Amino acid sequence: MSKYVFGIDLGTTYSCIAYVDDRGIAQIIKNSDGNTTTPSVVAFDGKTITVGEAAKEEAVLKPNETVSLVKSKMGKTDTVIKYNGKNISPEEVSSYILKKIANDASEQLSEPVKDVVITCPAYFGTAERMATKKAGEIAGLNVLEIISEPTAAALDYGCAETHDDKTILVYDLGGGTFDVTIMRITSDRIEVICSDGDHDLGGKNWDALLMRYILKEFEEKNGSVELDASSQQDLRLKVEKLKKQLSSKPQASSMIDINGKRQVMKLNRDEFDSITNTLLSQTLNKTEEAIKVARSKGYDQIDEILLVGGSTRMPQVKNALSEKYGEDKIKVFDPDEAVAKGAAIHAVNVYVKNQKALEDKTFISSERKNDLNPNDYEEDLKVDERSMSVGGAQREIIMATTKSFAVKVTHEDKTEECVNMIIKNEPMKEGFIEVSDEFYTLFRNQATVNIQIYENDYMDKKFDVDEEFFLGNAILELPKNLPAGSPIQITMKLSGEGILEVTGLDKVENNKVNVKMETKGVMSDEKFEEVKEKVKGMTVL
Ligand code: AMP
């Protein structure tokens, strides 16, 4: 058993791992290259898998054997790359990233890495969260919990300093995703009020616009060029570097080399800002929408705006938010590290909570007492003791629902509609939310009902059916000879992690059925075991 539990920020472009050290302070663990973050890039090469900086470089040479930005595919598809004639899922690719950072951390600390909390964007739905959890399990980790990135960041922020009660907005702009979350921090709790985001808006979009601009300029001077996959990847790396340079200096340049044609491209920050202005505006609009939702729930004032995520290093972000909401409100707080550190703090909390629950319930028979290893117990205690010293970590965390969940109903005139049972941004005071509603059969002698669940972002009770939001279904068998209007009870339970369970109950004979979440992205149990076995045998460098 390990002395520590860990927090992992599984990022779109970079990932990072942290733990709470013996003094009770959350610390980032460096990887084998000595860096605090590891690129979330995986390269396939026969029996070995390379992850991180080396894989990122390999992506230039062998773009068809490398995977980047896998996070944007989680829970959405079952294949991100075909390798050696096999379809490789996003869960498997992510598991290599997790395995690499866990292995590196384990070497650094000379302690195994087993119990972890993994973060995901706040807007991730059930399928994406389930996929993230499975990726961790495939990597051989015990996933204590999945927690939203902005909540983790706020935990770290809340623990690092002593604060008065305040309402904070976390503006989290990463490599591929944007999240805005508003929460209330008091001395004993952190409560999520609302969150919103865009799963396809992040540093990569800034890179793409800049790349288009540079190519256009290049072609104006040098005539049109054909980019193969390798030169495209090379240009992408140069463009990202140029963007990063513009965060620290007002102008920067890069030598662009395409098909033997070379040109030095110069760019200043104002030009970069105007090329990418539409993207920044999208984040500002989402921010304003979230503020409106918070206001509708009685939180009129935002006291602080916390900048998280690598892309908030672009001065345009801080400038725009300062101009709109006041410079004194903006707090820059460890943009690369806050999420992993907050996850580590949460991991200690969850671990201790689980441990306490277990200790309260557990006793053993006298004949087994001799099998007990007293050292194991000591190890457990070490973790317990450490948690007591994590400054603010004893705060209760109240999550809010990040999605709405509906069932499809059919009216007498055969028109259909979705009815939300759980609505987005509702507080989960008990740590979960459970809602039961009664529905009725439409026909006499109806043999079955098909319970169909739709995950969505609407905050209204009813909306038109859209198959895009379909999450899963189950057929509930009914007793014979029922009259029309016989009652069916549907219960939805959403865990604090954001994973949904649904059951249907026929109230005449009390038959129950569990709805299986069968979106195209969720891996079957059989496939899960198969991939887990495969990954166990792979060397990850
Ligand atoms: P994250 O997913 O939070 O690690 O964010 C990674 C994103 O931040 C990538 O798109 C990076 O290009 C971007 N990024 C990191 N450092 C900087 C910087 N100094 N200036 C601009 N963007 C940056």
Determine which residue's CA is closest to atom 8 belonging to ligand 1: 310
Q: Whose CA is nearest to atom 20 of ligand 1?
A: 244
> What distance in Å separates the CA atoms of residue 498 and residue 492, rounded to the nearest whole number?
12
DSSP structural state of residue 68: -
Atom of ligand 1 nearest to the CA of 204: 10
Beta carbons within 10 angstroms of residue 110's beta carbon: 7
Which residue's CA is the closest to the ligand 1 atom numbered 21? 244
Q: Which string of DSSP letters, residue by residue, matches 96-164?
A: HHHHHHHHHHHHHHTS---EEEEEE-TT--HHHHHHHHHHHHHTT-EEEEEEEHHHHHHHHHHHHS---
What is the CA(59)–ligand 1 centre distance, in A?
A: 18
Phi-psi domain of 502 (left: phi exceeds 0; alpha: psi -120 through 50; beta: other): beta
Intervals of the chain under pLDDT 70: 160-163, 356-394, 517-521
Name 331's Cβ contacts closer than 8 Å, sequence gap at least 6: 157, 304, 305, 306, 307
Token code pair at residue 538: 């792979």
Give the Å distance between the CA of 298 and the centre of ligand 1: 34
Q: Find all residues with CB under 8 Å of 479, minimum gap 6, and list them.
A: 506, 508, 509, 511
Tell me what pLDDT residue 22 has. 85
Ligand 1 atom, smallest distance to 335 CA? 3
Q: Provide the pLDDT for residue 464.
A: 96
Beta-carbon contacts of 132 under 8 Å, excluding residues fewer than 6 positions away, are 10, 74, 75, 94, 118, 120, 124, 146
Any atom of ligand 1 within 6 Å of the Cβ of 175: yes
Distance 225 CA to ligand 1 centre (A): 28
Predicted TM-score of the model (pTM): 0.82
How many angstroms does the Cα of residue 342 sit away from the middle of ligand 1? Answer: 19
Output the pLDDT for position 228.
85
141 contacts 174 by C-beta, under 8 angstroms? no
Q: Is 313 in the pocket of ligand 1 (CB under 6 A)?
A: yes
Strands 416-422 and 462-463: antiparallel
| Cα 235 from Cα 372, distance rounded (Å) | 60
Residues 289, 469, 117, 494, CA torsion sign = positive
* pLDDT digits 0-9 by tens, 232-273: 888 999 999 999 999 999 999 999 988 888 999 999 999 999
Q: How far is the CA of 175 from the centre of ligand 1 (A)?
A: 6
Q: How far apart are CA 121 and CA 40, in angstroms?
A: 15
Going by alpha carbons, the residue nearest to atom 9 of ligand 1 is 175
Cα 399 versus chain centre, distance:
14
Quick check: CB of 309 below 6 Å from ligand 1? Answer: yes
Q: Residue 239: helix, strand or coil by DSSP?
A: helix
Pocket probe mutation, ligand 1, options 173, 204, 311, 341, max atoms within 8 Å of Cβ: 311
User: In residues, how long is the chain?
Assistant: 541
Distance (Å) from CA 311 to ligand 1 centroid: 4
Q: How many whole angstroms separate alpha carbon 500 and alpha carbon 519?
A: 13
210 close to 239: Cβ distance less than 8 angstroms: yes
Distance 243 CA to ligand 1 centre (A): 9
CA of 314 to the centre of ligand 1 (A): 8
DSSP letter string, 244-290: HHHHHSSEEEEEEEETTEEEEEEEEHHHHHHHTHHHHHHHHHHHHHH
243 lines ligand 1 (CB under 6 A): yes
Q: How far is the CA of 322 from the centre of ligand 1 (A)?
A: 20
Sorted by sequence, the CB contacts under 8 Å of residue 376 that are 6+ apart come out as 1
Q: How far is the CA of 528 from the centre of ligand 1 (A)?
A: 32
Ligand 1 binding pocket mutation candidate from 10, 199, 244 (most atoms within 8 A of CB): 244
Cα four-point dihedral sign 373, 379, 382, 384: negative
13 ligand 1 Cβ < 6 A: yes
Q: How far apart are CA 457 and CA 454, in angstroms?
A: 10
pLDDT tens-place string over residues 134-178: 999 999 999 999 999 988 998 888 776 666 789 999 999 988 889
Structural domains in the chain, CATH included, are 6-157+334-396+528-540 (3.30.420.40), 203-275 (3.90.640.10), 401-510 (2.60.34.10)
Number of H helices, E strands in the chain: 12, 29
CA–centroid distance, residue 360 to ligand 1 (Å): 45
Q: Which atom of ligand 1 is nearest to the CA of 248?
A: 19
**Token pair listed for 435:** 């809602």
